[in-house]
Each structure stands twice: as structure tokens, then as C-alpha cells.
Amino acid sequence: MAEDNKSACPVPAGTLLIIGGAENKGEQKAKKKQTPSDFERLQVLKSFIHLTGKEDPQVEVITSASTEGDESFEDYRKAFEECNIFKVGHIHHTHRQDVLDDEALVERMEKTDGIFFAGGDQLKYTYLYGGTRFLTALKHRYINDKIVIAGTSAGAMSMSTPMIYAGNDEVQELGGMIKITTGLEFLKDVCIDTHFVQRGRFVRMAQVVATNPTCIGMGIEEDTAMIVRNGLDAEVVGTGTIIIIEGFHVSEVSIDEFTSDKPVTIRNLRTHILSDGDKFTIAQNNPPHV
């Protein structure tokens, strides 16, 4: 049967920058105990600016996931100012109705060159913005324009589907204790986890991948980011590593005994460890559908 191009997924013109949290904001040293020899101040944030393709871009920082939005924005304002970027707007909402009533929000989306989702609680992002004109407008721009959409920590985790929202290191080995929901869906069939090495989150990501084997897991270390172009082509930037976990070849999962009383068993996971400059193509194993 001939391919129906009308049902094919569009190739996004925009770029994603998915950050593992704790990106350098101007500190003279990396936050790790051993500073890498190639450490560069503001490297990830400079990448965000560079990806816009403009010398003086308009940037919007969204801090709605944080209980300290003003403080978070001020940190980013200062960091971007050090990068000679001075047109930095602040978006912060605490109630969904505020988003629905914010008539100027969509207009701001049409004018900005880059959006930056800061950290906090990823569920706040999905609750506040899911299904709104704001998110629809942002996705239209991502598909059709050369906008850069970045997220760090919770802001990064909210960009994918599935999205982890609960299950810390104390319970991650126990079956069924990792909770997932639908994220903002800039990346589908990809699960993003942040602070990945620092907080020992490998097993919780393995659970997500093993029970959703169409999906890949992308665990991102602090001060490290994955650039995603064309919705598929990924490249690492930063001082740490990104661990890719694939479940396509999983042969056994203890799903029949998947309870909180017993640790999980997973066989034949495949992993990749990538660092600055490495590239990776996100697999497309789930055919596009309307």
C-alpha cells in the first residue's frame, strides 16, 4: 500500500535543549568534586543562545514549576546577562485559570526566539499548561519555526512522554513504585530523567523502559544537555554524561510479580553512555498515527 504522506509526522523546524539540571550559571568551578579539564563556564546556557541563531535573541524563562519563581528567574537573568543577552522575559503562573486568562501569553510565544523551562515540580507544568492555547501555540512554533525550547531538571522531564513524577531512590528497585504520566510531549516515546548520575536513578528509568519497551530512556547528568534537532538527531553538550537505555531487546521482566514487595528483574536491556560531542539518533519504532 502506498505511503500516505498526509499521515506522516512533520519534521520539527525547532530545536530542543534538554538539560540534566544544575547547569553552570557563571560559577568559576564545576559543582563536581573533580572539575573536568575541558570545563567551560556557562557552556550549556551559551549553547541555548547559540542555537537561536541570533546575536540578540528574545528569551522567555518560565519558572511556574518553582515555589521560588522570582529567585529562580533572577539567577537566569544574571546568567544570560553575562552572556550579553538582555531581552529576558519572565513567565510565572500559579493557577491554571491564570494561564487560560492570560491573553498576552500566546502573543509572547509568537515573538520569542527561545523558551526556557526552569526546575521545580514537573507536575505543575503539565497541570498548568497541558491542553492550553499557550502549549498549542508553542508546539506550532516548534514544528514550523526555528525556535529553541529548553528545559532543565523538572523542566526537562516535563518535555517528554512518558514523564516520571514519583519514585525516589529508596523505592526505585521495587516493582510498580515508579509513577509516570503524560508530559508536554515535545518528545514522544522518550522518557527523560535528570540529575541522573548524582541521584542514582538508573533503576527507576530501567523500570519505565522495561514496562514501556517502545520508549527509550534518556538519563542526563547535571551540567549536561542533549540537543535534539529534527525531532530525532541528538547531540551531547556539557561536562557530564548521558545514559541511553533501550528496552527493544528486553527478553524478561518480572511483570507477573510486579509488586512493591519484591525488586524487579529485567534481562537484556541495552545501554549507551555518551559525552560531549557524541551523537545519537532517536529510534522511531512507533509508526505515526492521527
- What cell does 150 get? 529548553
pLDDT band, residue 166 (cuts 50/70/90): confident
Distance between CA atoms of 53 and 7, rounded to whole angstroms?
31
Residue 272 pLDDT greater than 90, yes or no: yes
Higher pLDDT, 57 or 173: 57
- What cell does 14 get? 525547532
What pLDDT shows up at residue 2?
Answer: 45
Distance between CA atoms of 261 and 257, rounded to whole angstroms?
9
**Cβ count near 71 (within 10 Å):** 10
What pLDDT shows up at residue 260?
Answer: 65
pTM, rounded to two decimals: 0.93
**Contact indicator for 219, 203 with CB cutoff of 8 Å:** no
What pLDDT shows up at residue 113?
Answer: 98
Spatial CA neighbour of 129 closest among 94, 90, 164: 94
Q: What is the pLDDT of residues 37-67, one digit of tens each?
A: 678 899 999 999 999 999 999 999 999 999 9
Distance between CA atoms of 232 and 280, rounded to whole angstroms?
8
Spatial CA neighbour of 250 closest among 209, 217, 192: 209
Residue 290 pLDDT greater than 70, yes or no: no
- Identify the H or E element spanning 106: helix 104-111
What pLDDT shows up at residue 249?
Answer: 92
Give the least confident one: 6-15, 124-133, 182-191, 255-264.
255-264
**Contact indicator for 7, 290 with CB cutoff of 8 Å:** yes
Share of the chain above pLDDT 90, in %: 77
Q: What is the mean predicted confidence (pLDDT) over 260-281?
A: 92
Residue 67: exposure state from Cβ atoms within 10 A (0-12, 13-18, ≥19): exposed
Q: What is the pLDDT of residues 2-44, one digit of tens each?
A: 445 555 678 999 999 999 999 999 998 776 656 566 788 999 9
**Contact indicator for 75, 47 with CB cutoff of 8 Å:** no
Handedness of CA 90, 95, 96, 97 (dihedral sign): negative
Give the chain's domains with CATH numbers: 12-281 (3.40.50.880)
Strands 15-19 and 148-152, bridge-based pairing: parallel
What is the average pLDDT score of the chain? 91
Amino acid at 128: L
Peptide linkage before 57 cis (omega within 30 of 0) = no
What pLDDT shows up at residue 9?
Answer: 78
- Identify the H or E element spanning 236: strand 233-238
Residue 175 pLDDT greater than 80, yes or no: no
What are φ and ψ of residue 223, in 5° steps? 55, 35
What pLDDT shows up at residue 178?
Answer: 86
What pLDDT shows up at residue 1?
Answer: 40
Q: What is the pLDDT of residues 124-152, one digit of tens each?
A: 999 999 999 999 999 999 999 999 999 99
